[in-house]
Chains A and B, each alone.
Chain A
């Protein structure tokens, strides 16, 4: 029998009893109000905490900005001849996707609040948010410049049940979304990819398209869709990958970056190997870049941080609010849901990935540079990511040694967001996206230091892409996101295939899929051969590892 549990192991409906959520939220708001009263006139530097996002009253965001930043000073926007950069739309699908999305919007607001102290709707904010005058009836008049009125996330929220989306709508982020951005159903996909992909896909295609078009109309140069979903369940996996094809057909010019949460081995959704394999085929064919993440790695990172924080030696030295996992500094730890920490890591990944496109820096990296640099062959678009440092020590002076440690950690296997060991596998390409107080010489020094311990494919021996963004993440002085196109993703895929084959041999649960219109056994065999072809490509690359790097004979010219 299929269970009604969600795709990934750590996200169980039982944790989301609505009663519990209500109590929790009430507590949150009270605490915030209290803090705001206490801190009226507090310094701007602390604006990352005690945030209450928009409330029903119009112009709430503006007030929030004024309260939490130096906006009171009131300065006009500088009118540059070159306005407007690109925008991105986040499409969060399924329970997992929406929970991560929620963390993302929370952190994105905090980040922009920390940078944009004047409360002016600027280029950087516009990449993820619309500025809307909620007093205008109807669609809400978009305002392109001036003060922040009310910010609306450039997002489409899709879930085939109502729980998580309702929770978001009742939570502190409720005014960042409006009902026009949501698509929900009540029946759920029952952890069945085919239900999500085939049933809900055809049922909601028009509606999804309409919301996507609407979100695209609000952009003046839409560059990228970020899809967040999990692979193991029904909605995120099935409908999430259905959406990819829709996006490809409707917006062929717009990049599709997919953040996919892979099930871990001990996953308790029994059909997760089916769902993941079927979803993999779609990712292979329709995504520009996939950032695979697994729950186990996120969990390990959190355990590591916990040990650090609680060990007497370091605990006191860690700067508050600087954990890669923390959403705010005001909540006591006991109040945070355990997977909030995990979701915050993913949210931070997306923030860091887009920071160089949003903020200034001496070496910018636009989103379209990611696939250009990191995807040598269209199919090999799976990027292993790592975030460092996981926390910042409280003292401000960073000795170079500690800065160098940040670079070393980015290559160690305990900092990867998927269980993988890039150091002992083959690099096709590697991007280092640095934020904060780091200069080009630090970057070059570390590349030269680390290069000898890493193996690059013969035709890309200097496969580095670098960027320097001057704005660090909130609470940090500097940070690094490493993206690797590395054969170390292969074991995840191999393991997935093995789990699939074990299940498929017994034909276990197969009838749940085959009874869906449009599903045939060939769907499974095609999916598994698509995955095998991908694994084979990685095998072939791995086979070149032991070969000496030789220059090929060059063109001869007559002199």
Chain B
């Protein structure tokens, strides 16, 4: 540490201007997207401005500058403006979000960065996609263009939406498609909120298959968070008795922050990565058939428990690896019996979704380490070829990003973004439920009313069955 610091100073001093990060424009859609978007910006801001990042002042400043360039622009009075466009089809949530941001006093949304209407999409994907979408295309795309014009260089778009409702899912799919048409070279990553399995919107399975199949055509990667999993983290790890959506969204924002905050651009380098979205896609989406990503974090706990805990990189990474291969969403209740298949033995045959999945095969993994001595952490266990599909070498399938800067209140923390089989089961469940409902023809009249026909459903089913089969056959 002591020896390293002067070098870091030197580099930052010389190259700071050249290594400015590229920017990401966030599009928040619907109630869920707007509520989460707020928490994400708040988490990013609070982390980059927390007084002790457990690193040098200079380094902290570089981290802050990089975060700012990615996610915020600056007003003349020094107040930061989120690089975001807020879209909803009813006014309540956007007004609430704007005022929450304004109340924080330290960052806010741009005065002309939101678009809303009076009447929501009524949980109807078809209404969001076929009515609201085309009707408001110009206004929404204009807002996005203005936000893009504020960026010195654009890395891409981060689109936050749920897939159960109507606005986030239907309009979200429409907007993503338009972004694909108009900014084909910019990357598009969609943050998707997967609904509770026990149901929060009755037509959620229809809306979900329509959303996923459309995004599969127009988005570069789908980053998925399941409400059930995040809810469990709140209950088990954060120890929250009465869990609110705010709690859930904060956990989610924490996970996203741990992925998107700056990291060094390479082994031994002390510059922050310029193009986080681009690097993320390059590492994690090697084939367009596989673009569903999940995030796992360790440690995650309430502030009270944190005060009594210490962590080593070896311990964290051991847990994180087992979370990956046993497909656990959190460190509690990991199945330690799951082992990678032994090389040399004949494979057990193709995985079937109906059979209990034991071992979670990956296509690609990215480990992000933040905090003290991150450079010394050994990630060798993630380079085991047995973890990956046979057609990719671990050297291509695995990456690690690091920074000495601690994330939020954790002295050491690790995030794992993976493209693996872990989402096959939830996807299969949603497709199965939607298929059962489709066979009874229930609710179809609500969709055909707005021009989404049975053919469209069948196309979506076909595409997603294909995705499921591909992931199963890894």
Residues of A within 8 A of B (CB): 78, 80-86, 123, 220-221, 223, 360, 362-364, 366, 368-369, 372-378, 428-429, 439-442, 444, 447-448, 451, 458-466, 468, 551-552, 554-557, 559
In addition to A220-B118, A364-B92, A557-B462, 13 A-B residue pairs with Cβ atoms within 8 Å of each other are A81-B111, A81-B112, A221-B119, A360-B92, A360-B96, A364-B90, A373-B123, A373-B201, A428-B442, A441-B240, A462-B202, A465-B200, A552-B435
- Bound-state CA distance A78–B431 (Å) is 45
Given contacts A82-B91, A460-B437, contact A362 B246 (CB under 8 A): yes
Q: Is the CB of A440 within 8 A of B243?
A: yes
CA gap between A205 and B124 in the complex, in Å: 34
24 residue pairs bridging A and B, Cβ less than 8 Å apart: A81-B94, A360-B92, A362-B35, A366-B119, A366-B122, A368-B119, A368-B122, A368-B123, A372-B203, A372-B443, A373-B123, A428-B442, A429-B202, A441-B234, A451-B198, A459-B437, A459-B442, A460-B442, A462-B433, A463-B202, A464-B200, A465-B123, A559-B466, A559-B470
* Contact status B203-A373, CB under 8 Å: yes
Q: Does any Cβ of A come within 8 Å of B244's Cβ?
A: yes
Interface pairs A-B: 9 shortest CB-CB: A368-B122, A462-B199, A441-B243, A464-B199, A376-B442, A82-B91, A221-B118, A82-B116, A362-B245
Q: How far is the CA of A364 from the CA of B30 in the complex (A)?
A: 11
The answer to whether B231 and A441 touch across the interface, beta carbons within 8 angstroms, is: yes
Smallest Cβ-Cβ distance to A447: which chain B residue: B198
Complex Cα–Cα for A477 and B166 (A): 30
Residues of chain B within 8 A of A221, CB atoms compared? 118-119
Among residues of A, the one whose C-beta sits closest to the C-beta of B122 is A368
Distance in Å: Cβ of A400 to nearest Cβ of chain B: 8
Interface string of B231-264 (1 = CB under 8 A from A): 1001100001111111010000000000000000
In the complex, are the beta carbons of A459 and B439 less than 8 A apart?
yes
Q: Does B305 contact A (CB under 8 A)?
A: no
CB pair B98–A366 under 8 Å, yes or no, is no
Whole-angstrom distance between the Cβ of A41 and the nearest chain B Cβ: 31
**Residues of chain A within 8 A of B243, CB atoms compared:** 439-441
Flag if B98 contacts A80 (CB, 8 Å).
Answer: yes
User: For residue B226, which residues in chain A have a CB less than 8 angstroms away from its CB?
Assistant: none
B197 on interface, CB distance cutoff 8 Å: yes
* Residues 176-229 (chain B) with a chain A CB within 8 angstroms: 196-203
Contact of B31 among A80, A364, A372, A459 (CB under 8 A): A364
Distance in angstroms from A546 CB to nearest chain B CB is 17
Are the CB atoms of B200 and A466 closer together than 8 Å? Answer: yes
Chain B residues near A368 (CB-CB < 8 A): 119-124
Q: Are B93 and A364 in contact (CB under 8 A)?
A: yes
Q: Which residues of B contact A466 (CB under 8 A)?
A: 199-200
> Contact check: which of B111, B248, B436, B473 meets A552 at CB < 8 Å?
B436
Contact across chains for B244 and A465 when beta carbons are under 8 A apart: no
CB of B199 within 8 A of CB of A557, answer no
The CA-CA distance from A372 to B432 in the complex, in Å, is 21
From A85, A360, A444, contact of B198 by CB (8 A): A444
Q: Which residue of A lies closest to B447 (CB)?
A: A372
| Chain A residues closer than 8 Å to B202, beta-carbon distance | 373-374, 429, 460, 462-465
* CB nearest neighbor in A for B200: A466
CA distance A451 to B198 in the complex (A): 9
Q: Does B343 contact A (CB under 8 A)?
A: no
Are A369 and B235 also in contact (CB < 8 A) when A82-B91, A377-B442, A463-B202 are?
A: no
Inter-chain contact total with CB atoms closer than 8 Å = 163
| Contact A555/B198 with A82-B114, A85-B91, A459-B436 known, Cβ cut-off 8 Å | no
Docked complex: B21-45 residues within 8 A CB-CB of A = 31, 35
Chain A residues near B437 (CB-CB < 8 A): 459-460
Residues of chain B within 8 A (CB-CB) of A363 are 31, 200, 245
Whether, in the assembled complex, B142 has its beta carbon less than 8 Å from a beta carbon of chain A, the answer is: no
- Chain A residues with CB under 8 Å of B94's CB are 81-82
Q: How far is the CA of A220 from the CA of B119 in the complex (A)?
A: 11
Q: Contact: B118 with A84, CB < 8 Å?
A: yes
Interface size on B, residues (CB 8 A): 63
Tell me whether B123 and A369 are in contact (CB under 8 A): yes
Most chain A CB atoms below 10 A, which of B99, B119, B465: B119
Q: Complex formed: what's the CA distance from A555 to B439 in Å?
A: 12
Task: Name which residue of chain A comes closest to B245, CB basis.
Answer: A362
Question: A27 CA to B442 CA in the complex, in Å?
Answer: 55
Chain B interface residues toward A at CB < 8 A: 31, 35, 88, 90-96, 98-99, 111-112, 114, 116, 118-124, 166, 196-203, 231, 234-235, 240-246, 248, 431-433, 435-437, 439-440, 442-443, 445-446, 458, 461-462, 465-466, 469-470, 473
Distance from B428 Cβ to chain A, minimum over Cβ atoms (Å): 9
Query: How long is the Cα–Cα vector from A279 to B101 in the complex, in angstroms?
Result: 52
**Alpha-carbon gap, A320 to B94, bound state (A):** 36
Q: A78: shortest Cβ distance to chain B, in Å?
A: 8
Give the contacting residue for B201; candidates A440, A465, A556; CB below 8 A: A465
| Contact (Cβ within 8 A) A447 B199 | yes
Distance between B419 CB and nearest chain A CB, rounded to angstroms? 18
Give CA–CA (A123, B116) in the complex, Å.
14
User: In the complex, which residues of chain B have a beta carbon less than 8 angstroms from the beta carbon of A460?
Assistant: 202, 437, 442
Is B111 touching A559 in the complex (CB atoms < 8 A)? no
| B242 interface neighbour in A78, A223, A442, A462, Cβ under 8 Å | A442
Q: Please measure, in the bound complex, the distance between the C-alpha atom of A461 and the C-alpha atom of B199, giving whole angstroms.
A: 9
A559 touches B90 (CB 8 A): no
Name which of A82, A84, A439, A464 has the most chain B CB atoms within 10 A of its CB. Answer: A82
Instruction: Specify the chain B residue showing the minimal Cβ separation from A370.
Output: B122
Chain B residues, CB < 8 A from A447 = 198-199
The minimal Cβ–Cβ distance linking B251 to chain A, given in whole angstroms, is 13
A23 to chain B, nearest CB (A): 45
- A551: chain B residues at CB < 8 Å are 432, 435-436
Contact B442 A555 (CB under 8 A): no
Question: Could you say which of A220, A363, A459 has the most chain B C-beta atoms within 10 Å of its C-beta?
Answer: A459
Min CB distance A418 to B, Å, is 21
Taking the closest CB of chain A, its distance from the CB of B361, in whole angstroms, is 15
The docked-state distance in angstroms from the alpha carbon of A444 to that of B199 is: 9
Check A557 against B465 for contact (C-beta < 8 Å): yes
Inter-chain contacts of A468 with B (CB < 8 A)? 245
With both chains docked as a complex, state the minimum distance between the C-beta of A69 and any C-beta of chain B, in angstroms.
21
User: Which partner residue on chain B sits nearest A377 by CB separation?
Assistant: B442
Give chain A nearest CB distance to B413 CB in angstroms: 25
Q: Give the distance to chain A from B220, nearest Cβ to Cβ, in Å.
A: 23
In the complex the two chains form, is B231's CB within 8 Å of A369's CB?
no
CB-CB nearest in chain A for B242: A439
CB-nearest residue of chain A to B109: A81
Complex-state Cα separation, A364 to B116, whole angstroms: 15
- Alpha-carbon distance between A362 and B36 when the two chains are bound, in angstroms: 11
Instruction: Please give the distance in Å from B171's CB to the nearest CB on chain A.
Output: 14
CB distance from A467 to the nearest CB of B (A): 9
What separation, in Å, do the CA atoms of A25 and B248 have in the docked complex? 52
CB distance from B207 to the nearest CB of A (A): 10
Chain B hits for A362, CB < 8 A: 35, 244-246
By a CB distance below 8 angstroms, the chain A residues around B432 are 551, 554
Which residues of chain A are near B244, meaning CB under 8 Å?
362, 439-441
* Residues of chain A lying within 8 A (CB to CB) of residue B98: 80-81
Is the beta-carbon distance between A372 and B91 smaller than 8 angstroms?
no
Min CB distance B32 to A, Å, is: 9
Q: B118 near A459 (CB under 8 angstroms)?
A: no
Distance in angstroms between the alpha carbons of A369 and B197 in the assembled complex? 19
Task: Considering the complex, give the chain B residue whose CB is closest to the CB of A81.
Answer: B114
- Give the shortest distance, in Å, between A426 (CB) and chain B (any CB): 13
- Selected from B116, B122, B433, the residue in CB contact (under 8 A) with A369 is B122
> Do residues A80 and B95 form an inter-chain contact, with CB atoms below 8 A?
yes
Cα of A551 to Cα of B433 in the assembled complex, Å: 8
Residues of B within 8 A of A444 (CB): 196, 198, 231
Which of B118, B123, B440, B458 is packed against the most chain A CB atoms within 10 Å? Answer: B118
Q: Which residues of B contact A461 (CB under 8 A)?
A: 433
CB distance from B247 to the nearest CB of A (A): 8
Give every chain B residue within 8 A of A465 (Cβ-Cβ): 123, 199-202
When distances are taken between beta carbons in the complex, the residues of chain B under 8 Å from A80 are 91, 95, 98-99
Distance between A547 CB and nearest chain B CB, rounded to angstroms: 13
